[in-house]
Amino acid sequence: MLQSKLFTKTRKEAPRDEVSKNAALLIRAGYVHKEMAGVYSYLPLGIIVLKKIEEIVRKEMDAIGGRELVLTALQRKDVWEKVGRWDDNTVDVWFKTNLKDGMELGLGFTHDEQLVNLLTEYVHSYKDLPLYLYQIHTKFRNELRAKSGLMRGREFLMKDLYSFNATEKEQDEFYEKIKIAYMNIFRECGIGDITYFTYASGGTFSKYSHEFQTISDAGEDTIYVDEAKKIAVNDEVLNDEVLVGAGLDRKDLVVKKSIEVGNIFKQGTKYTDPFGLQYQDESGQKKSVYMGGYGIGVTRLMGTIVETLSDSVGIVWPESIAPFKFHLVEILGGGDAHKVKESAAELYKALGGDDIVLYDDRDLRAGEKFSDSDLIGIPWRIVVSGKTLEGGMYEVKNRRTGEVKMLLLQDLLAI
Amino acid sequence: MLQSKLFTKTRKEAPRDEVSKNAALLIRAGYVHKEMAGVYSYLPLGIIVLKKIEEIVRKEMDAIGGRELVLTALQRKDVWEKVGRWDDNTVDVWFKTNLKDGMELGLGFTHDEQLVNLLTEYVHSYKDLPLYLYQIHTKFRNELRAKSGLMRGREFLMKDLYSFNATEKEQDEFYEKIKIAYMNIFRECGIGDITYFTYASGGTFSKYSHEFQTISDAGEDTIYVDEAKKIAVNDEVLNDEVLVGAGLDRKDLVVKKSIEVGNIFKQGTKYTDPFGLQYQDESGQKKSVYMGGYGIGVTRLMGTIVETLSDSVGIVWPESIAPFKFHLVEILGGGDAHKVKESAAELYKALGGDDIVLYDDRDLRAGEKFSDSDLIGIPWRIVVSGKTLEGGMYEVKNRRTGEVKMLLLQDLLAI
């Protein structure tokens, strides 16, 4: 993409009310626009990153049998009264609104009840199970404070998968699969090394739930980490029983601040029974359906990646989700401007063009272009200038390591 | 995809309160689920169709210079007060809600104001223009009545593009381009023949706006059509001045009911001036930015296609947006069941598998499978049975024409 055609420009400063590092960097670099606290629009650069993260998540969910659907934001009161979660005193993050005739509606902060209600029309027999259904869609949560940028939004993108199994054993098997799928996702997104499978409270069926926590000083959680075993315990359940269950020893643990990037819950029949979501087994007997819920905040994941991988001058995207692989920067001063432009345009094509390269064709000084490039955080910066033309080589900088090399075209194409 | 793994099942009847043909068929065939009037969830089959329509729309928008972004549903009151559209007496389709601190918010029914407000941070010079920005995202409209299925939703998917030009001439040129892009979209979606470029009221800058109207008895609009010239006039502006401008003669016109599937508006400076969205021209003078708005209801388009192309037994998808190209139906009765299954599984692979073929592997009678197939509406139905195995050929039915042929594998692959 030509950088002159991106309407966004980098900014020296984030809005004054933006206190989180992730949102400040994403705003300054032109990925997102802040509408109000916890509410961000996604600009063209941001959309590209978001779609790449979505594709990683989708691939892993499909691989374990997930089927995609899209549920609605507007929620019926009667559906949420079934398990007692309509009341604002029980759920304190509802946004509520009204139809013209006065009927109250909610905006989905999660979708357990709606999906279970929907499935009562489709699930009747053991033949209809198991089911693994997921969506990647907007959630609304009326957070009292929303100061963590993309990490705690009032309107945000979430992947939520729900499992429906005939037996506990079958659910347990799926639970093991999704653990692996989640770690695959975090690894593919570049934060596998600093993300821990974590024991946590909140299981409504099993005693505990599990979270995936990414080490970060900006995190709202506190976890105790066994770095060798790659397992952590949330401080809310740090007790001897959990430690024995997890095979951990208190003396091996170090305390860290962390961001919850994913959670997985066995929900048992808490939601399915009140809706009468049951199946007939092979002998014709009615049985309860076991349910599980598995979330990843997709925009929170994007925020976490920025929060943890950026450096003092800007964002450092892993190549898997970077908006472009190459940032091609032409420097016209000090050379034959026409030749430099010609060479840059040729290189743009050779490297793969629009989807692969952000081409800084703007009429700006080298210093400005370089600091923009550091801020935007594309993995490989390539400089084309009078100097590089003379030597017949390109100057290539690795954004993460800072290493600079002079490369021939053939070596550049092999990166 | 294996049909046994689709959790949806076809239904003999739509919900009793569903009076629209498009939603009734889509519900019965398992594409959508009705949550309440005008609010539909999209099930796995529906998601596939929706994504295909989205891709057609996206391709055409990108081809004329569109850049994708995603604006938020939650809307700030102060932004909408600028042009006087916050008031429920002015805009009667708002859903309103509140933050915890009591601050009023709206749910976006369109995004003109929000986008113009956003752009004030990025557009300052003639060098920043033109801009063509679009999103494919959810809109909320608090419709008093929502009885037309996917054609008038309270929560629905829309493509809205906004143009920002330095001069009226430049805008006019873009306006001609998007007219063509819109007709491309409707043609690619299979309704080009019955969709008319239509003169309508509602221009806030130019005297008239333009709509794209698809002929249908279920439509809420009335248009006068010149079938030879492929131009129509909405009855709200049927007067001599418009007819002369459009080069039409009253005697060539026939009256039709129709569905508005798209609209394009020149908005002039109605939104840009109140926000101070101006640019400096080459001589340093401040000038107004010309804006235009261009909408296609993506879910409405899906509903319109079903409404207009279906027949008495079900949906008839055009191949471009059908969830699958082939519906492979195995019939086990009357043949060697093992051999039939083996042959069907081989054919499934040969035809391209998961994304190309819906494979009815369910243990049901032939009649049930055939009527499900007609209802679901995949372009080519292929029957594999004891009989077809004997002859070494496959029975292939064209869903649209009803024509049945016996084909060899090589001819089947060439379809």
* Secondary structure (3-state) at B308: helix
Q: Name the residue among A7, A98, A144 with its Cβ closest to that of B122.
A: A7
Question: Taking CA atoms, what residue in B is nearest to A36?
Answer: B76
For every residue of A136-178, DSSP letters joined together read EEEEE---S---SGGGS-SEEEEEEEEEEESSHHHHHHHHHHH
In the prediction, which pLDDT does B392 show?
86
Interface probe for A, chosen from B70, B78, B117, B128 (most Cβ of A below 10 Å), is B70
Q: Name the residue among A4, A43, A73 with its Cβ closest to that of B138.
A: A73
Tokens found for residue A118: 């929907």
Q: Which H or E run contains A240?
A: helix A240-246
Q: Name the residue among A35, A72, A105 with its Cβ closest to that of B41.
A: A72
Q: What is the mean pLDDT of residues B307-317?
A: 97
pLDDT confidence of B82, banded at 50, 70, 90? Answer: very high
Q: How far is A182 from chain B (nearest CA, A)?
A: 22
Q: What is the mean pLDDT of residues B346-363?
A: 96
- Biggest CA pair distance of chain B: 84
Q: What pLDDT, in 10s, does the model give residues A118-168?
A: 999 999 999 999 999 999 999 999 999 898 999 999 999 999 999 999 999
Separation between Cα atoms, residue A23 and residue A34, nearest integer Å: 8
In the prediction, which pLDDT does B207 show?
73
Q: Cα B69–A140–B104 angle (5° rounding)?
A: 95
Task: Verify whether the Cβ–Cβ distance A76 to B36 is below 8 Å.
Answer: yes
Domains in chain A (CATH in brackets) are 8-309 (3.30.930.10), 326-413 (3.40.50.800)
Tokens found for residue A324: 């472009």
What angle, rounded to 10 degrees, do the helices at A298-309 and A44-63 form? 110
In the prediction, which pLDDT does A203 show?
59
Tally the C-alpha atoms within 13 A of residue B211's C-alpha that lie toward its C-beta.
Answer: 25
In the prediction, which pLDDT does B285 show?
97
Query: For residues A9 and B334, which has the higher predicted lDDT (pLDDT)?
Result: A9
Tokens found for residue B244: 């002369």
In the prediction, which pLDDT does A399 show?
98
Separation between Cα atoms, residue A228 and residue A252, nearest integer Å: 9
Pairing of strands A131-140, B131-140: unpaired
Mean pLDDT of chain A: 95
Residue for token pair 């043609």: B187
Tokens found for residue B157: 């998917």
Task: Verify whether the Cβ–Cβ distance B7 to A67 is below 8 Å.
Answer: yes
Phi, psi of A68 (to 5 degrees): -90, 140
Task: Verify whether the Cβ–Cβ distance A70 to B39 is below 8 Å.
Answer: no
Who's near B9: CB < 8 A, 6+ residues apart?
A122, B30
What is this structure's pTM? Answer: 0.96
Separation between Cα atoms, residue B318 and residue B124, nearest integer Å: 45
Interface probe for B, chosen from A3, A33, A302 (most Cβ of B below 10 Å), is A33
Q: What pLDDT, in 10s, does the model give residues B64-81?
A: 999 999 999 999 999 999
In the prediction, which pLDDT does B334 show?
74
Separation between Cα atoms, residue B319 and residue B326, nearest integer Å: 10
Interface probe for B, chosen from A35, A119, A127 (most Cβ of B below 10 Å), is A35
For the stretch A156-171, what's the b/e string if a residue is b when 16 or more beta carbons lie within 10 angstroms of its beta carbon? bbbbbbbbbbbeeeeb
Q: Name the residue among B42, B67, B74 with its Cβ closest to that of A155.
A: B74
pLDDT higher than 90, residue B201: no
Task: Spell out which residues of chain B touch residue A122, defining contact as CB-CB under 8 Å.
Answer: 7-9
Separation between Cα atoms, residue A75 and residue B36, nearest integer Å: 9
Mean pLDDT of chain B: 95
Task: Spell out which residues of chain A touch residue B159, defining contact as CB-CB under 8 Å.
Answer: none
In the prediction, which pLDDT does B411 show?
94
Task: Spell out which residues of chain A touch residue B139, defining contact as CB-CB under 8 Å.
Answer: none
Asked if residue A230 lies in contact with residue A213, where contact means CB atoms within 8 angstroms, the answer is: no
- Closest by CA to A189, choosing from A68, A309, A22, A275, is A309
Task: Verify whether the Cβ–Cβ distance A121 to B72 is below 8 Å.
Answer: no
Residue B214 CA, distance from chain mean position: 12
Asked if residue A136 lies in contact with residue A58, where contact means CB atoms within 8 angstroms, the answer is: yes
Residue for token pair 């139809």: A99
Sheet holding B404-407, edge to edge: B357-360, B326-331, B380-385, B394-398, B404-407
In the prediction, which pLDDT does B55 show?
98
Phi, psi of B304 (to 5 degrees): -65, -40
Task: Spell out which residues of chain B touch residue A33, defining contact as CB-CB under 8 Å.
Answer: 118, 121
Q: What is the mean pLDDT of residues A305-309?
A: 98
Asked if residue B220 lies in contact with residue B181, where contact means CB atoms within 8 angstroms, the answer is: no
pLDDT higher than 70, residue B203: no
Q: How far is A382 from chain B (nearest CA, A)?
A: 25
Task: Verify whether the Cβ–Cβ distance A44 to B67 is below 8 Å.
Answer: yes
Q: Name the residue among B40, B44, B70 with its Cβ closest to that of A41.
A: B70
Q: What pLDDT, in 10s, does the model give residues A354-385?
A: 999 999 999 999 999 999 999 999 999 999 99
pLDDT confidence of A54, banded at 50, 70, 90? Answer: very high
Separation between Cα atoms, residue A104 and residue A96, nearest integer Å: 7
Percent of chain B surpassing pLDDT 70: 99
Task: Report how many Cβ contacts below 8 Å link chain A to chain B.
Answer: 125
Task: Verify whether the Cβ–Cβ distance A35 to B97 is below 8 Å.
Answer: no
Give the Cβ contact number of residue A336 at 10 Å. 12
In the prediction, which pLDDT does B390 show?
87
- Biggest CA pair distance of chain A: 84
In the prediction, which pLDDT does B204 show?
55
* Per-residue H/E/C for B7-61: CCCCCCCCCCCCCCHHHHHHHHCCCEEEEECCEEEECHHHHHHHHHHHHHHHHHH
Q: What is the torsional sign of CA B2, B8, B11, B14?
A: negative
For every residue of B185-241, DSSP letters joined together read HHHHTT-GGGEEEEEES--SSSS-EEEEEEE-TT-SEEEEEETTTTEEEEGGG-SHH
Q: How far is B197 from chain A (nearest CA, A)?
A: 30
Separation between Cα atoms, residue A44 and residue A56, nearest integer Å: 19
Q: Name the residue among A69, A127, A140 with its Cβ closest to that of B41.
A: A69
